[in-house]
């Protein structure tokens, strides 16, 4: 299996790179800089493409030029948010215009251009799978006030719906992960019980997301998961 993870330098993206590959697989990470001290399963071939999605056109061209001719799985883990997002200091009216523009370019424009370039490589697979990292902030009545971030994640749902219809005859499996607040402090090397204890029920260990994505990759070609909502057990919005 050839798998590409976009947005792979840290946090969830890094966890997916380290946790998903099986012996014989090729995992291609994409980020602005290749991180150090990556730990992947023995006999997994790891490749890296350095590209900054803040400049969508140039980054997507570089990713396209350096990626293999065929892919089986594409995971778009793309997402930045407002400087004061998820804090009591957040105010939409105080957001800098340039930062809002950058958020849209990274979260929406770069994703659209990336999909346009890489889908032809994915559709050649016997079981093409596209996984988009959304957010519970992109769901209706999410209970969050972050306007630009919420709008960008809501847009991911629109992309997914359109892609399912446009490529249904090519059997493209498109899944959106609606994730709640993640514990990005504890890497996969941290015992699951310890990572799950952080946040006292308000944070999801990245281990759990890796487990769910691994299950998606093991499905037969006769089924797919349309959307997966994964909030923390203590999240009162759910």
Please determine, for residue 39, whether its predicted confidence score (pLDDT) is greater than 90: no
Phi, psi of 147 (to 5 degrees): -70, -55
Helices (H) and strands (E) in the chain, counts: 7, 9
User: Can you give the pTM of this predicted structure?
Assistant: 0.94
Q: What percent of the chain has pLDDT over 90?
A: 88
Q: What share of the chain is helix, strand, coil (3-state, %, to 5)?
A: 40, 15, 45
Spell out the residues 6+ positions from residue 10 whose beta carbon is closer than 8 angstroms to its own: 31, 35, 184
Per-residue pLDDT, averaged over 125-148, amounts to 93
pLDDT in tens, 153-177: 999 999 999 999 999 999 999 999 9
220 closest CA partner among 111, 126, 89, 86: 126
Higher pLDDT, 35 or 4: 4
- CATH numbers and ranges of domains, the chain: 2-230 (3.40.50.720)
| Per-chain mean pLDDT for the chain | 95
pLDDT in tens, 54-79: 899 999 999 999 999 999 999 999 98
Query: Which of 32-46, 185-199, 201-215 is least confident?
Result: 32-46
The residue to which tokens 């014989």 are assigned: 24
Per-residue pLDDT, averaged over 202-223, amounts to 96
Rg of the Cα trace of the chain? 17
Q: What percent of the chain has pLDDT over 70?
A: 100
Per-residue pLDDT, averaged over 44-53, amounts to 95
Q: 52: burial class by Cβ within 10 Å (0-12, 13-18, 19+)?
A: middle
């Amino acid at each position: 299996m050839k798998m590409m993870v976009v947005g792979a330098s840290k946090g969830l993206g890094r966890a997916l790179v380290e946790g998903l590959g099986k012996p014989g697989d090729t995992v291609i990470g994409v980020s602005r800089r290749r991180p150090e001290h990556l730990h992947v399963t023995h006999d997994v071939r790891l490749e890296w493409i350095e590209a900054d999605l803040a400049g969508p056109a140039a980054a997507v061209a570089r990713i396209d030029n350096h990626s293999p001719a065929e892919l089986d799985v594409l995971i778009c883990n793309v997402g930045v948010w407002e400087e004061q997002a998820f804090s009591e200091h957040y105010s939409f009216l105080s957001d800098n215009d340039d930062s809002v523009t950058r958020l849209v370019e990274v979260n929406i424009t770069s994703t659209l251009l990336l999909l346009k370039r890489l889908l032809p490589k994915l559709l050649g697979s016997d079981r093409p799978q596209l996984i988009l990292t959304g957010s519970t902030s992109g769901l209706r009545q999410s209970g969050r006030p972050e306007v630009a971030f919420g709008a960008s994640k809501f847009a991911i749902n629109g992309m997914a719906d359109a892609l399912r219809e446009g490529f249904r005859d090519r059997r493209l499996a498109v899944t959106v992960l609606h994730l709640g607040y993640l514990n990005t402090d504890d890497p996969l090397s941290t015992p699951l019980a310890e990572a799950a204890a952080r946040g006292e029920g308000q944070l999801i260990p990245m281990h759990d997301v890796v487990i769910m994505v691994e299950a998606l990759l093991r499905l037969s070609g006769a089924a797919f998961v349309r959307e997966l909502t994964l909030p923390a057990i203590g999240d009162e919005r759910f």
